[in-house]
Amino acid sequence: MSEKISKPDAQWREELGTDAYAVCRLAATESPFSGKYVDHHEAGTYVCAACAAPLFASGAKFHSGCGWPSYFQPISPAAVSEHADTSHGMRRVEVRCARCESHLGHVFTDGPKPTGLRYCINSLALGFEPAAD
């Protein structure tokens, strides 16, 4: 993984725009089935919208029906960090970009084989780099 990235809040706001800033820096959640990557099936790599760090390979994406892009594993264990989240009266595991600490979404234990995990990720927290032909 690349060196950690830290920026002043005003810079994050300017670079990300209102909606992505709310998700990435304030841990908001986009509405289900509204994100551009929910039904996206192109081969390539999903990257952090804030710092472009590689996060998920398209081969790990699956249709979960939950309304957000879902992956059964990150591109590498070091790509994301996990944190306890007890907000909204729930007990969940928050997933952040390990490089810039942007909120990505949550991970659940109801995913498919081989991991049994479902990384439920906001489209606003992602960018996409198509595979080279």
Which residues are catalytically annotated? 120
Measured in degrees and rounded to the nearest 5, phi and psi for residue 132 equal -70, 140
Residue 126 C-beta-side C-alpha neighbours within 13 Å: 32
Instruction: Report the amino acid identity of residue 76.
Output: S
Measured in degrees and rounded to the nearest 5, phi and psi for residue 76 equal -155, 155
Task: Write the CA distances from 132 to 15, 76, 106, integer angstroms.
Answer: 27, 20, 29
- Which among 39, 21, 23, 2 is positioned nearest to 104, based on CA atoms? 23
